[in-house]
Structure 1
């Protein structure tokens, strides 16, 4: 095969040329963070995460929260009920629609609408319902996070499998 071999050592026995060895020796050292800088970064991440978790269930900085108590409740479907004269849409979820309620051209959430409605009725019947308004939807309904006996109604519908997450993110613990 001849004298030429691509893995052969150079005649002087060195693997590096003097130029590549010199650039290796004089390369600037990588600067590492000090302990104080690392602690500041961790504190910043923790504060950012806690602020983010606080804002997940709320509407943000610009809106004003409105809390109210529901006396008489009439459940419409798995994600909507009347609180006195105010129509409430549960925040962050979508439940299956009763027959005739799904607008033409819209892909509605699959599932049993009667079971979703019954589950919401059971949740609101457990005790007094307290709501916190987060928004108003395009139909003029109040979008709210509501609780009954300490159970978030949106999370209750999700955990029972009667709704899916939609229209924003909610944190259910």
Structure 2
């Protein structure tokens, strides 16, 4: 009987420890799973330059960062072009429908599985960074840092143009500073005094102005359209 009570106490203590660990994980806001042994295999559906869907699982490629679909780049001659969409097309043309073998590492805060994937006989992240289609995301791992240095040395791909880092672009877009349509870049801002002022690219306050459509602020495709809607031009 004493042995039975001792076993029960050990079992009860283990249960309390298990519950405590789960609670600790949940209290961190994001429960990161140790998925290092999990394998995900199947045909690739490309979402963007660094995100796939494989066998119904959304995959974020480990330790790389590619431009967002709506991101623009600028050539040395000052020409703007939709590099994010172009990269997604290149990745789609190469990998769509190909079989991926992915090793899961963890879950990110969006619920995606962060993983290393191979396809066409090589590491997908390594290929993207080597071709200058993505950057090494060193805050999450230095796996591809040396490959990026080699690509930058010869100005391959993105290293030959000017662009915000994808991470900075996401932050800026989240503050309403990136136009959803590149043809409609004029910012119709409403000041704290309620004055409607529009800012055009190149003006002093353009970059720092964010558009909050919930407040009635708007994007415009032309200065004439902004004036017709009741906005006046910024003086600087």
Length-normalised TM-score, structure 2: 0.39
Number of aligned residue pairs? 101
Contact 2:45 2:96 survives alignment (8 Å): no
Q: Which residue number in structure 2 is paired with residue 168 of structure 1?
A: 141
**Residue 67, structure 1, aligned to residue 39, structure 2:** yes
1:70 Cα shift?
1.5
For the aligned residue pairs, the C-alpha RMSD in angstroms reads 2.4
Distance 1:161 1:138, change over 3 A: same
Contact 1:65 1:133 survives alignment (8 Å): yes
**Residue 113, structure 1, aligned to residue 84, structure 2:** yes
Larger Rg: 1
Q: Which residue number in structure 1 is paired with residue 215 of structure 2?
A: none
Report 1:24-173 matches (<5 A): 64-71=36-43, 73-99=44-70, 112-125=83-96, 127-166=98-137, 167-171=140-144
Distance 1:134 1:128, change over 3 A: same
Moved over 3 A (4+): none
CA distance in 2, matches of 1:75, 1:127: 10
Report 1:14-33 matches (<5 A): none
SS at match of 1:130: strand
CA distance in 1, matches of 2:99, 2:35: 25
1:63 Cα shift?
5.6
Length-normalised TM-score, structure 1: 0.51
Of structures 1 and 2, the one with the larger relative CO (CA 8 A, separation 6+) is 1
Where does the alignment leave 5 or more consecutive residues of structure 2 unmatched?
Answer: 1-33, 72-81, 148-236
Distance 1:66 1:90, change over 3 A: same
- Structure with the bigger percentage of helix: 2
SS at match of 1:162: coil
Distance 1:169 1:115, change over 3 A: same
CA distance in 2, matches of 1:98, 1:112: 8
